Structure 1
Amino acid sequence: MIFKVLYQELDTEVPVRERTDSMYLEAETERQVREKLKNAGFNIEYIQVLDEDHLAYEQQSEDFRLEQF
């Protein structure tokens, strides 16, 4: 499954929409996503599993790229 992760660069940063970044990760569960990112120092705001239609939409963006952790 592909997950979309919304986060702030610093774990001390307060979530503000204008400074929220996103990344895409492949994993079996949300727990695996959190395990992959636990030492990255990000403030994870939200993790969303993408269904086929949503994934197809996200892949149309020039910013879409699967991250490797």
Structure 2
Amino acid sequence: MVYKVYYQESMERNPKRELTQSFYLEADSQADAYAMAQKNTDYNIETVEELSDAALVYEQADPEFKFTKFN
């Protein structure tokens, strides 16, 4: 399944909607996606959203779309 992870780059500052960024990853469950994001980044993870097929097609239309892979 594909998940969109919303995050703030800094754990030091209060989250501001204007500064929210995101990346995409593949995982078996939402909990796995959250755990991978927490383990492999220093970001303040806001939420993890499973993308429907239609939402994935929409997101892939963005030329900047790419999956994040962790080792």
TM-score (norm 1): 0.90
Distance 1:16 1:62 in 2: 25
Which ranges in structure 2 are unaligned for 5 or more consecutive residues?
none
| Correspondence 1:48 to 2:52 | no
* 1:11 aligns to 2:11 (yes or no): yes
Amino acid at match of 1:52: D
Give the superposed CA RMSD. Answer: 1.1
1:22-48 C-alpha deviation (Å, 9 max, x unpaired): 100100111111221223111111111
Q: Which runs of 4+ in 1 moved over 2 A?
A: none
Q: What displacement does 1:12 show? A: 2.3
Q: In 2, are the aligned partners of 1:8 and 1:45 still within 8 Å (CA)?
A: yes
Q: Percent identity over the alignment?
A: 36
Say how many residue pairs are matched: 69
Pair 1:23-2:48 in alignment: no
Residue deviations 1:6-29 (CA, integer Å, cap 9, x gap): 101122232212111110010011
Please state whether the residue corresponding to 1:36 is helix, strand or coil: helix
Which TM-score applies when normalising by structure 2? 0.87
Check whether the contact 1:13–1:43 (CA below 8 A) recurs between aligned residues: no
State the alpha-carbon separation in 2 of the partners of residues 13 and 68 from structure 1.
Answer: 26
Judge which range, 6-15 or 49-58, deviates more.
Answer: 6-15
